[in-house]
Amino acid sequence: MIEITQTKSGRGLGVVATEDLHPGIFGLKVITEEALIVFPTLEDQSGGSSKVPKFLEPCPQVYADWYRYLQEPQSIKDRILMLYNEIDCPQANALKNYLHKYKDGINDTEEIDKDEKQILNHIGEFVQFTMVIRFNSVELQPPARDGNGPGPSYGHGLFDQACKMNHSCKPNCVWFTTQDGKSKEVRAISIIRKHEELTVDYNGNVLDATPQRRDDLFQAKGFLCECVRCAADHDDTRRFKCITQQTNSQCTGYHFLCQPTYSKAPSLMDCNCCGRRPTEDYVHKVMKEEMKLVREINELDSIADTDGIVSVKDRIKRLDPPHTYHSLAEKCYLLQGELYSALGEYKSSAEAFAKAIDCRIEILGTDYWSQATAFTCERLGDALKYVNIEEAEEAYRRTVRALELMRGGGHSDPYVKCAMKKLLTVQQSSVVLSSDSLPREECLKGIADAPEGPPVTDFPCRLCGKPSIIPTSSRDALSYCCEFHKQMHHTAVRDRSIAF
Ligand SMILES: C[S@@+](CC[C@H](N)C(=O)[O-])C[C@H]1O[C@@H](n2cnc3c(N)ncnc32)[C@H](O)[C@@H]1O
């Protein structure tokens, strides 16, 4: 199905399809592999049990990884070093020079620690190992068991095949860590033709502006991204209303920002609709407004984290993105969606989340579903369940479909399971609400059975709507007022042959 070979894109080795790959609706598993080696994250960053050599004191994790590597048999060490493929890597050269200088500076009478000596006697191997960790290792962080966000990290690991995958900001595959934290699964999410390269997103920020994405990749992985989106002539995340709209024209077009460079002032492309060229003043104006909005969003984000989102509600309501399909628009809509949800204004919340999804899909294309899009869809369902149960059902259905494409069907994945439970919840409540089928005496019996005391969950019983006291294992998905209603609901679900 795949092979590791030189890529046509000039990015060294990569994973290439040896036949056409069709993901269908459940995606297609192309790689499942156990880590060659796992490097646990240092809890206290002190370097573990062994003493960290002086020159590595600022980066105890690197030393802990090296120490772990030294315990491996030669065959594994060889496979780890084989992942290194840079011919003339500036970071490797800089580290090599630094270590040689350090070694030369030690005078003969000075007593040096045995671990330090070990590295200084194997500078080539140490540098190669460090570069493999820096450029090839991947984080091992499966979802929390209840599907409520990411779980604890198992550290980082190296893989023979997955670590040979190149990055794209419009990838055709996704990868994730299996629940035991030891393996990576790679899945195709769009059709991949024979000889085409399989790519993944390294950073999870595909909706950020090009300079931001490139900078993040450079910081984390030390390379300048040359994927189709980054190498295009314009930044597809930054579009601005047509200049003629300043004077009430009918043109509904927009200008993309030309891909920024260090040497040239920012410029906008001609309007995609009327072809009008923007003036320098207009470019200056929209750039200034964009910068102001970035600052405002960052500030609101941090205030919302510390003091709660409601404390900045007026500022969030006033957020005004440059264009409905600018990446900042998505950030504005997400903040508004969360705010309205916190205020209990679910209709407005749902409208904002729906706009955030539209914006993501318009920028990334309808053929690309990222996990973040699926989670926004889930937030849309969370808001809609208070407004329109049928629409909530559709939003959860889209969430489940998208997550199944990326993480596989079968409901063993915590994210899929969690979204599935929410879908079942709204399906069940719509059955009860629409058919009024719950016999009155059963409803009353349930309520009568309910023990005294305050409810322990914020959610109503899935069957009768009374305050619930029996939470189930995961989030707000299913909760009941009493054991009797729980059993009834479980039976109803079983009878409809739906697993949960
Ligand atoms: C994990 S390795 C992938 C395998 C690598 N191509 C090889 O030959 O070993 C990551 C390295 O691949 C290259 N690379 C991956 N994706 C890239 C991209 N989108 N643009 C430019 N270089 C990329 C960079 O050199 C990066 O440091």
b/e burial code for range 386-413 (CB count within 10 A of at least 16 → b): eeebebbbbbbbbbbbbbbbbbbeebeb
Q: Does 225 sit in the ligand 1 pocket, CB within 6 Å? A: yes
Q: What element of type H or E holds 291?
A: helix 280-307
- The predicted model scores a pTM of 0.81
Q: Does 12 sit in the ligand 1 pocket, CB within 6 Å? A: yes
Q: In tens digits, what is the pLDDT along the chain, a chain of 500 residues?
A: 999 998 887 888 899 999 999 998 888 999 999 999 999 988 755 545 567 777 777 788 888 999 999 999 999 999 999 988 766 678 888 889 999 998 888 877 777 777 888 888 999 999 999 999 988 999 999 999 888 888 989 999 999 999 999 999 999 999 999 988 999 999 999 999 999 999 999 988 999 999 999 999 998 888 899 999 999 999 999 999 999 988 877 899 999 999 977 778 899 999 999 999 999 999 999 999 999 999 999 999 999 888 889 999 999 999 999 999 999 999 999 999 999 999 999 999 999 999 999 999 999 998 888 999 999 999 999 999 999 989 999 999 999 999 999 998 766 889 998 999 899 888 877 665 554 555 555 544 443 344 444 444 456 666 676 666 554 443 344 566 666 666 676 666 555 543 33
Q: How far is the CA of 79 from the centre of ligand 1 (A)?
A: 18
> Which two tokens mark 86?
């840079």
pLDDT in tens, 258-271: 997 777 889 999 99
Q: How far is the CA of 213 from the centre of ligand 1 (A)?
A: 15
Closest CA to 1 of 161, 154, 232, 230: 161
Q: Does 81 sit in the ligand 1 pocket, CB within 6 Å? A: no
**Which amino acid, 102?**
Y
pLDDT in tens, 116-128: 888 889 999 999 9
Residue 431: CB atoms within 10 A of its CB come to 14
Q: How far is the CA of 159 from the centre of ligand 1 (A)?
A: 15
Separation of alpha carbons 292 and 238, rounded Å:
15
> Which two tokens mark 393?
């059902």
Q: How far is the CA of 181 from the centre of ligand 1 (A)?
A: 24
b/e burial code for range 147-180 (CB count within 10 A of at least 16 → b): beeebeebbbbbbbbbbbbbbbbbbbbbbbbeee
Separation of alpha carbons 99 and 122, rounded Å:
10
Pick from 2, 131, 134, 167 the residue to mutate for probing ligand 1's pocket: most ligand atoms within 8 Å of its CB: 167
Question: Which residues are within 8 A (CB) of 84 and not within 5 positions of it... i.e. 6 or more apart?
Answer: 128, 131, 132, 135, 136
DSSP 8-state secondary structure symbol assigned to residue 6: E
> Which two tokens mark 232?
């295009």
Q: Does 202 sit in the ligand 1 pocket, CB within 6 Å? A: no
Q: Does 212 sit in the ligand 1 pocket, CB within 6 Å? A: no
Which segments within 7-122 are labelled E, that is strand?
13-17, 28-34, 37-39
> Which two tokens mark 356?
């955030």
Which segments within 140-289 are labelled E, that is strand?
156-158, 166-167, 173-177, 183-188, 197-200, 234-241, 254-258
Separation of alpha carbons 152 and 355, rounded Å:
32
Q: How far is the CA of 91 from the centre of ligand 1 (A)?
A: 14
Question: If you take atom 13 of ligand 1, which residue's CA is the nearest one?
Answer: 11
Q: Does 11 sit in the ligand 1 pocket, CB within 6 Å? A: yes
pLDDT in tens, 406-455: 998 766 889 998 999 899 888 877 665 554 555 555 544 443 344 444 44
Which homologous superfamily is 2-35+140-221 in? Answer: SET domain (2.170.270.10)
Indicate the domain borders of the chain.
2-35+140-221, 39-138, 234-368, 438-495
Closest CA to 172 of 406, 376, 359, 374: 406
Q: Does 167 sit in the ligand 1 pocket, CB within 6 Å? A: yes
Closest CA to 370 of 409, 421, 405: 405
Separation of alpha carbons 269 and 209, rounded Å:
16
Query: Which atom from ligand 1 is nearest to the alpha carbon of 221?
Result: 27
Query: Which atom from ligand 1 is nearest to the alpha carbon of 7?
Result: 6
**Which amino acid, 64?**
A
Pick from 223, 228, 230 the residue to mutate for probing ligand 1's pocket: most ligand atoms within 8 Å of its CB: 223
Pick from 2, 3, 6, 11 the residue to mutate for probing ligand 1's pocket: most ligand atoms within 8 Å of its CB: 11
Contact 159, 184 (CB under 8 A): yes
SS3 15: strand
> Which two tokens mark 206?
């595909």
Residue 258: CB atoms within 10 A of its CB come to 17
Q: Does 223 sit in the ligand 1 pocket, CB within 6 Å? A: yes
Question: Which residue has 């294309």 as its token pair?
Answer: 365
Question: If you take atom 15 of ligand 1, which residue's CA is the nearest one?
Answer: 166
